[in-house]
Amino acid sequence: MDSRIETQQASIAAPDPVIDAPRARLVALAAERGVSLSALSGLLGRNAAYLQQFVRKGSPRKLEENDRRTLAEFFGVDEAELGSPPRDTVLSVGAGLNAGAPLRSADWADIPRLPLGASAGPGTLALDPAPVDRLRFSGRWLRQQGLEPGMLSVIEVEGDSMEPTLRDADEILVDRAPRPLRSGLHVIRLDDVLLVKRLEPGPAGTVHVISDNPAYPRMERAGTDVAVLGRVVWKGGRI
């Protein structure tokens, strides 16, 4: 057998006894599957030494959530074996539309409901961003939609300008992850007012701000005038 291969397999099979449980488990899983840490690093889209440094040097201190999830799915194990926080851990998020934090229980994420009325009418000013309570979503469903719980908020629609798509008092799930602007429903700040509107990119850097209710006129504004706070990815409301 090639001595280089022997050395590589030895490094996988004999983890440093001082490394913590998630690192040791990763090394053991790699050995069981017969895959190198460099190959796993490539699976994550990282440089070849990424996981070797994680295991041997403690850098990074812990795996990023997406990396941990990818490895757990590859090996068919629970993320907790690779160092995910306890399911009931409260994850802190900053202020504003990302106030509060998703609380995890089993495979559920409790997304903060904020007392912000995103107007679908004449417009309202933003209120105190502290969460008032939370709505629970399936963690698996969120992952299938490509959504990160820490970047989500739930707010209430006010007014009728987005009918029939959105009605007064509907709840909307807002994804604040930065993404290129594309046509769809968004929560925006326009002239210091919080709104939920349909946006369409226009010519020369403009944005069409559209109300689905034909009783309301559409607007064309300079892109710099429209602060996009998030994309609406789900709605719920009373029947």
> Residue 131, preceding bond cis, omega within 30 degrees?
no
Contact criterion met (CB below 8 Å) for 199 and 211: no
Q: Is 90 inside any structural domain?
A: no
Residues 174-203 have a mean pLDDT of 92
Global pTM reads 0.55
Of the pLDDT bands very low, low, confident and very high (cuts 50, 70, 90), residue 198 is: very high
Residues 105 and 76 in one domain: no
Contact criterion met (CB below 8 Å) for 160 and 168: yes
Residues 78 and 124 in one domain: no
Q: Which of the two residues, 58 and 132, has the higher pLDDT score? A: 58
Of the pLDDT bands very low, low, confident and very high (cuts 50, 70, 90), residue 174 is: very high
Give the pLDDT confidence score for residue 211 in this predicted structure. 96
The H or E element spanning position 33 is: helix 21-33
**What CA–CA distance (Å, rounded) separates 163 from 49?**
53
Q: Is 87 inside any structural domain?
A: no
Residue 17 tokens, joined: 């006894």
Residues 223-228 have a mean pLDDT of 93
Residues 107 and 37 in one domain: no
Domain residue limits at 48: 3-82
Q: Is 170 inside any structural domain?
A: yes
Of the pLDDT bands very low, low, confident and very high (cuts 50, 70, 90), residue 66 is: confident
Residues 20 and 115 in one domain: no
Residues 166 and 107 in one domain: yes
